[in-house]
Amino acid sequence: MRQWLTRLASIGVFVGSLQEVAQAQTVTEIKLDGLTTVLQPLSDSSYIINFWATWCKPCIEEIPHFETQSQLPQNHNIQFKYISVDLPDAYPDDILAFVKKLGLQSPVYWLNESNANKFVGLVDKSWKGGIPCTLFINPKTKYHKFLEGKIPPEKLAQEITLMQTSQANTIPSKSSQE
């Protein structure tokens, strides 16, 4: 047995499996009170919160761009968070499979509340309930911007730069296509 494990380790099979377990992503279930907590900054760091669902094509198309941005050195001080608004039958299996498929490294939450009327106003008063949508916040500069709709990669990079460099409050937008 020991000889067999040594062989597996020598070709990277066993070591690779340990690395995958160490880097395993989880999906944390939250309710309305948990959403309020997730929306509050833990420090003066900027943060970006993206609301999405596994069945939403525009969400599926934009999330990889968020993850790419989260890995860039110039964005190391930004907290990226993903909040799934999938229905209960998708939690945890479908959501976790989606997260693993995309290799998401940032925190992922599932909002256990299927009545959107109970949470859209907590996120932003201008939110009509459509997804994807994203909240950009920089507590240091009091920057706050909400975008509803799919954000193209160039616009995402632009919004992140604005959030990091802006010195004024920003009026929330209703659409990311503006």
pLDDT score for 2 = 40
Res. 12: pLDDT tops 50: no
Q: From CA 156, how far away is CA 173, in angstroms rounded?
A: 14
For the chain, domain boundaries: 25-165
How many other C-beta atoms can be found within 10 angstroms of the C-beta atom of residue 76?
Answer: 9
- Mean residue pLDDT across the chain: 85
Q: From CA 176, how far away is CA 178, in angstroms rounded?
A: 6
Helix 153-165, helix 57-71: angle, nearest 10: 50
Radius of gyration of the chain (CA): 18
What CATH topology corresponds to 25-165? Answer: Glutaredoxin (3.40.30)
Show the 3-state SS of 99-130: HHHHCCCCCEEEECCCCHHHCHHHHCCCCCCC
CB under 8 Å to 61, separation ≥6 — which residues? 150
**pLDDT (tens digit per residue) in 153-172:** 999 999 999 999 986 555 55
Assigned token pair, 126: 């201008």
Range scoring the smallest mean pLDDT among 20-34, 63-77, 135-149, 151-165 = 20-34
Res. 7: pLDDT tops 70: no
pTM: 0.82
Nearest to 110 by CA among 101, 102, 98, 122: 98
Res. 44: pLDDT tops 90: no
